[in-house]
Amino acid sequence: MAVSLLIVDDEVDIRDCVEDFLLPYGFEVFQAGSADEAMLILASQPITVLVSDVVMPGMNGIDLADAAVALQPELGVLLISGYVGNPELMQNTHRFLAKPFRMDKLLSAIGELAKKKAGDHKGSPAKV
């Protein structure tokens, strides 16, 4: 079974860039442009790892991550933001990657979160 990712960012170019990078690794990728849209996907799809921007209109990424984990308790969460001095991030318990990030760092973080959820299954797609 493929590792499923939900990429949440209000900037479509970022979502598309991340998806284009990750698809060749065998990930199943869903996109959402807002927290509300993400919650609809999370209510209908099992997701392995949520990758979310922090600063978005409406619900922010930290609140989205907390709501998403309440809905899917085994969900891995990676928050991304260019606002590294944000005080909310300092109190955040989820994994964090500062923008701009290198794609290899993103891939590594997703791989670690996916392994925590599913264990290291040899031969699985999207093994990183």
Give domain status of residue 98, yes or no: yes
Structure tokens at 45: 């799809």
- Residue pair 78/108 in contact (Cβ under 8 Å)? The answer is no
- Please tell me the predicted confidence (pLDDT) of residue 98: 87
Name the residue range of residue 77's domain: 4-81+94-118
**Rounded Cα distance, 67 and 95, in Å:** 16
Give domain status of residue 89, yes or no: no
CATH of the domain at 46: 3.40.50.2300
**Rounded Cα distance, 56 and 8, in Å:** 9
Residues 104-110, mean pLDDT to the nearest whole number = 96
Predicted model pTM: 0.86
Backbone φ and ψ for 108, nearest 5 degrees, come out as -65, -45
| pLDDT above 70 for 16 | yes
- Per DSSP, helices labelled H in 2-102 are 12-22, 35-44, 61-71, 87-90
Q: Which of 30-44, 84-98, 103-117 has the highest mean predicted lDDT (pLDDT)?
A: 30-44
Number of folded domains that form the chain: 1
Give domain status of residue 86, yes or no: no
Give domain status of residue 126, yes or no: no
Residues 38-84: tens digit of each pLDDT: 999 999 999 999 999 998 999 999 999 999 999 999 999 999 988 77
